[in-house]
């Protein structure tokens, strides 16, 4: 936890804690003037990030991403559907971001969190516009059948930078995705082939296999994002919930693996960003993208 060292005398510790609660902004500004954050991070550094793949056995692809304490669980389930008439040779992806009541004290059951639909929309825009997934790859039989990917991202613990963590989990889940084996039966319907992978090729070919074996998607331009807080002249990368509630100007930069900008998002706020601040944000995002690429790369080796 970011609390002051417990070795201190209890009374002073109480004072610091009380100060933090009563004058949160001054507490933070005092830290910022020392170029340090309450959790001992330098301003431009993101929290420790962990990605785990394939934790959900009921899904075709899943991943758990943790940035600091912010935890996201993403799972993809594939279903066969008829493609729309506009794009007969494309599959589709349906993305939903959930904030169940367990993740934060502000979410109550029965009332979905305000932030959830916003993040949901931004995520699906980002993923679809980044060109990470070639929807044509999800096609099975042109005009007849294509894959529909249901991607559900659950926030298990909300501690700031939700969008970054959710995008990371989504990307990791796609990299873990194994498209199931299906075949076309005599009635022209798609049936799942269970049991055999590629051993009983004979029976699959007989049934006009559409997918001969479980395959992975090719991920082209993987988007990575970094959210920063602008406060006065300071730029804080990867904010926690506490920081987000105290200082409200958020900038999210999404870059893809070849350093192109996929999206840029600044949601109002009290601070007007100067172009130099934006440049620094992009620079921070570029460093962060390299970090994340490495983390994901390590996953693939396993």
For other proteins, give the closer residue by CB, 57 or 218: 57
The token duo for 6 is 């417990």
User: In a 3-state reduction of DSSP, which class is residue 20?
Assistant: helix
According to the binding rule CB under 8 A, does residue 191 interact with other proteins? no
Query: Would you count residue 152 as binding other proteins (CB under 8 A)?
Result: yes
Contact call for residue 109 and other proteins (CB under 8 A): yes
Find where tokens 């758990």 sit. Answer: 64
What are the φ/ψ torsions at residue 48 (nearest 5 degrees)? -60, 140
- Residue 164 contacts other proteins per CB under 8 A: no
Task: Decide: is 265 part of the binding site for other proteins (CB under 8 A).
Answer: no
Q: Which is nearer to other proteins, 69 or 211 (CB)?
A: 69
- The region of 60-68, 125-133, 222-230, 275-283 touching other proteins under the rule CB under 8 A is 60-68
**Rule CB under 8 A: is residue 222 a binding residue for other proteins?**
no
Q: Binding to other proteins by residue 124, rule CB under 8 A?
A: no
DSSP structural state of residue 35: T
* Contact (Cβ atoms closer than 8 angstroms) between residue 252 and residue 233: no
Q: Per CB under 8 A, which of residues 78..97 are in contact with other proteins?
A: 79, 96
Q: Output 115 or 209, the one with its CB closest to other proteins.
A: 115
**CA-to-CA dists, residue 29 to 33, 34, 171, 228, angstroms:** 6, 9, 35, 16
Show Cβ contacts of residue 276 under 8 Å, excluding neighbours closer than 6 positions: none
5, 9, 22, 58: which one contacts other proteins (CB under 8 A)?
A: 58
* 55 contributes a contact to other proteins by CB under 8 A: yes
Place of tokens 């785990």: 52
123 binds other proteins (CB under 8 A): no
User: How far apart, in whole angstroms, are the C-alpha atoms of residue 147 and residue 90?
Assistant: 8
Contact 171, 64 (CB under 8 A): no
194 interacts with other proteins by CB under 8 A: no
Residues 286, 224 contacting (CB under 8 angstroms): no
CB distance 176 to 77 below 8 Å? no
Shortest distance, position 52 Cβ to other proteins, whole Å: 5
**Binding-site residue total for other proteins (CB under 8 A)?**
35
> Smaller CB distance to other proteins: residue 49 or 71?
71
The helix/strand/coil state of 236 is strand
Identify whether the C-beta of residue 225 lies closer than 8 Å to the C-beta of residue 163.
Answer: yes
CB 100 to other proteins: min, Å? 5
Instruction: Confirm or reject binding of residue 120 to other proteins (CB under 8 A).
Output: no
178 binds other proteins (CB under 8 A): no
Q: Residue numbers of the site for other proteins (CB under 8 A)?
A: 50, 52, 55-59, 62, 64, 66, 69, 71, 73, 75, 77, 79, 96, 98, 100-105, 108-110, 150, 152, 154, 156-159, 241
């Amino acid at each position: 936890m970011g609390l002051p060292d417990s070795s201190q005398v209890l009374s002073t510790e109480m004072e610091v804690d009380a100060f933090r609660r009563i004058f949160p902004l001054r507490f933070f500004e005092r830290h910022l003037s020392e170029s340090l954050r309450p959790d001992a991070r330098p301003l431009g550094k993101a929290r420790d990030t962990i990605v785990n793949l394939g934790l959900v056995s009921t899904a075709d692809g899943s991943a758990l991403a943790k940035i600091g304490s912010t935890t996201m669980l993403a799972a993809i389930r594939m279903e066969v559907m008829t493609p729309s008439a506009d794009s007969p040779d494309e599959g589709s992806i349906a993305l939903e971001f959930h904030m169940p009541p367990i993740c934060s004290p502000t979410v109550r059951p029965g009332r979905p969190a305000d932030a959830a639909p916003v993040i949901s929309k931004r995520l699906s825009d980002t993923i679809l516009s980044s060109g990470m997934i070639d929807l044509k790859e999800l096609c099975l039989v042109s005009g007849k059948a294509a894959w529909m990917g249901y991607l559900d991202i659950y926030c298990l613990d909300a501690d700031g930078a939700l969008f970054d963590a959710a995008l990371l989990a989504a990307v990791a889940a796609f990299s873990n995705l194994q498209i199931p084996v299906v075949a076309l039966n005599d009635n022209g319907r798609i049936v799942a082939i269970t049991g055999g992978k590629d051993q009983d090729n004979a029976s699959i070919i007989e049934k006009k296999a559409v997918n001969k074996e479980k395959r992975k998607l090719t991920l082209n331009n993987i988007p990575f994002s970094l959210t920063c807080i602008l406060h006065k002249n300071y730029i804080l990368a990867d904010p926690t919930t506490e920081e987000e509630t105290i200082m409200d100007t958020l900038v999210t930069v999404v870059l893809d693996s070849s350093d192109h900008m996929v999206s840029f998002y600044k949601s109002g706020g009290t601070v007007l960003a100067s172009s130099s601040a934006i440049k620094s944000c992009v620079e921070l995002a570029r460093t962060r993208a390299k970090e994340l690429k490495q983390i994901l790369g390590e996953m693939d080796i396993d």
